[in-house]
Structures are given as C-alpha cells and as structure tokens.
Amino acid sequence: MKLETLLVHSGGGLEPSSGAVSPSIHLSTTFEHTPEGEATRDHVYIRMGNPNQDRLEDALAAIEDGEKSLVYASGMAAVTGCVQVLAPGAHVLMHKDVYSVTRAISRELLPNWNIEVSDVDMTDLDAVRRAMRSDTELLWAETPSNPAMDVIDIGAVADIAHDAGAQLAVDNTFATPVVQRPLQHGADIAMHSMTKYLGGHSDVQGGALVFREDGDRVERARRVRTITGGVLSPFNAWLVLRGLRTLGCRMARHVANAEAIAVALAGHPGIEGIDYPGLPDHPGHAVASRQMDGYGGMLSLRIRGTREDALRVASRVRLIRNATSLGGVESLIEHRQSIEGPGSVTAPNLLRLSTGLEAAEDLIDDLVQALG
C-alpha cells in the first residue's frame, strides 16, 4: 500500500463492540486477568501496554516500514529508552549537531552509566570511519539536524555502523516519515518526537522508536520502558494517531511553504544565508535529493549581522510567533542559541523557522517586513 493510504488507515479498524469508525479511548489502567495472572485478552496493566498505544505502534511500524514500534511519553523518553538498552562500557558516536537535550543526555547522563559518547561530523564519512571504535555499539544521527540543517547520508553511515557490528539510530523528527524513511535506507531505529509534526497541532507530547527488525533489542527496550514507566498515555496515543491521518496533506503544505520562503528570501540583503536542504547550494542538497521526498518544513535563517540583529528580526514578526517547538499548524520562529542556553553550539545570528500551514505569501510578507 502507498504511504498516503497507510497514513489514513494503519492502526485503524472498527471497534468490535460498537462498530465505531473512529477509535475509542481506553482509559482503563487495568484489564481482567485469570487468578494466576494471565491476561484474558491482550492487556494486563497500562504501563505494559494499552489498546490506544497498540494502534499507534502498529501504525508507526507500517508507516516507517519497520517490524515493531514502541511509543513513549515524550521524544526524550524515546531517546532515553533507546540508550538505556546499552550495556555499561559501550561507546556511542553522535552527530555533532543534534537536538540540544539529546546532547544533554550524552553529557549529563550517559557518563554516569559508564557509556562514553563522542561527537563527530557525520556529514564527513571519513571522519565517521576514523571515529569508530571496537566498543562502538550505537551511532546516533539526526537528519536534517536541529537547527543547523546538516544532511547525513543514512545509507552510507548505516554501512559503516554495520561493518563494525554497531547499529544506527536516526532522529527523524524534522523530516517525518512522509519526507524520509530511514529504515528503508538501512538505519536500524527511527526515532520521533511526536510532539512535533506527527501530533501536528501543538497540543500533545509523545515519542516513538521504530525498529527495522523485531527481536532481542526491541524486547529489551520494551522491558526498560515497562520498568522506567515512560509510556504514552491513551489519550495522547489517540491524539497522535488522529494527527497521522492528516500528516500526508499537512507535510505537502509545510514543504511547499518552506520552499517558497527559502526561494523568496535567498539573496535578501538582510540574510547572510538560508540553511534549507532544498536549496541547490546547500552542502547536503545532493544527499537530500536522494534520500528525501521533498526537503521538509524546517529552515534556519542566518541573519546578516550579530546576535542583536537576529533578535531584532525575531522581535518584529507579527504573524509568526516566537515560541519553541515545531511541526504545528502555526508558523513559529526561534532564536535557537537563546533557548539552548549555555553550551549552545548554534550560530548567534541563526533564527529557526517552523513553517506552518498559512498562505506562503503572508509568511513571506511578515518576514520581509521584519527584515526591514
């Protein structure tokens, strides 16, 4: 089946008891079991699994072309769930530009668990090969990356990982499965902050891991989730599944708007550069053209001048809102270095833009007046 159809139907199916077309929300925390503790149907206790979580996990596995999926209370719970299956002493290789809180895990938590992390520029395949160690178990990529919009060749990095017996996980939040399906390029795990495009309306938090192959690693991750309890609530699972139903249509508009803005503002005297993989002069354009269907709805504007010049532009937008997060129906702008705080490696003149579903003309007019 085609992706557009999977987005509408996967994880669906009538509710057997009522024939309802839209799924019910099962809030029950507990499910009947035999006196010996065996489930009489599919579930026992909410932390271990629930009908709404099941539907969403089935849908995500189908959409990302994986065998299994696990959903979590947030994107960060999913990242944590992924690294918590590693044994002490393991080495993780991480792209140098990743979501700032993913970097915080690598700096603040993993060393306590005796897991060493090194950063590498994964757009440079030779650098990745050189950084591999005999104890490297996991490579963590994010493409396009947040917020530098680096594009990593998923297939090539997967080959390097597999040659060394390691696995590749890709944070696919920026692209979404509509634009990029990392498992089809050889990645072992695709990760999502469902708080962003998958939910799509800035009103639900969730995270997911999708695994190319079912097996021991999935079962270990499921066990970690059951123990640590970072599981998605039924209502949030229901909201994200509803979001998936329109993801195909929404992404088409997000991508078209981002492209229109990138083209309209390229060459504007107030802009030093635009980081958008759809622009032919982006260093990752060729790789992005191979591994993505469209170039996504996120772009970063490097404002000509200083941090203060960038903040001035951010303060002048009228329609576009200053707020963190991304992937909702409304356009958001953010001075990333300010929100990332101390230790940020983001350029001081960079404004990250999440293009919403408004008319492109209105967004371009707003940015042009803000640039002055």
Ligand X SMILES: *Cc1c(COP(=O)(O)O)cnc(C)c1O
Q: By the criterion CB under 6 A, which residues form the site for ligand X?
A: 74-76, 99, 102, 142, 146, 171, 173-174, 193, 195-196, 205, 207
The residues pairing with 71 across neighbouring beta strands, listed in sequence order, are 208
Closer to ligand X by Cβ: residue 146 or 346: 146
In the complex, least distance from residue 197 CB atom to ligand X, rounded to whole angstroms = 10
What is the b/e burial string over 229-259, where b = at least 16 CB atoms within 10 angstroms of the residue's CB? ebbbbbebbbbbbbbbbebbebbbbbbebbb
In the complex, least distance from residue 322 CB atom to ligand X, rounded to whole angstroms = 17
Active site residue 196: yes
Closer to ligand X by Cβ: residue 146 or 349: 146
Active-site choice (196, 245, 250, 352): 196
Closer to ligand X by Cβ: residue 132 or 292: 292
| Cα distance between residue 26 and residue 237, in whole Å | 10
Active-site choice (153, 171, 275, 366): 171
In the complex, least distance from residue 146 CB atom to ligand X, rounded to whole angstroms = 4
Are 166 and 141 in contact by the 8 Å Cβ rule? The answer is: no
Closer to ligand X by Cβ: residue 74 or 123: 74
48 Cβ contact list (under 8 Å, min separation 6)? 226
In the complex, least distance from residue 207 CB atom to ligand X, rounded to whole angstroms = 5
Closer to ligand X by Cβ: residue 271 or 332: 332
In the complex, least distance from residue 217 CB atom to ligand X, rounded to whole angstroms = 20
Active site residue 304: no
Active-site choice (55, 68, 99, 276): 99
153 Cβ contact list (under 8 Å, min separation 6)? 123, 125, 287, 291
In the complex, least distance from residue 263 CB atom to ligand X, rounded to whole angstroms = 24
329 Cβ contact list (under 8 Å, min separation 6)? 200, 201, 202, 250, 356, 357
Closer to ligand X by Cβ: residue 136 or 205: 205
Active site residue 58: no
Closer to ligand X by Cβ: residue 132 or 334: 334
Active site residue 188: no
In the complex, least distance from residue 123 CB atom to ligand X, rounded to whole angstroms = 16
Taking CB atoms, the residue at the shortest distance from ligand X is 75
- Residues annotated as part of the active site: 47, 99, 171, 196
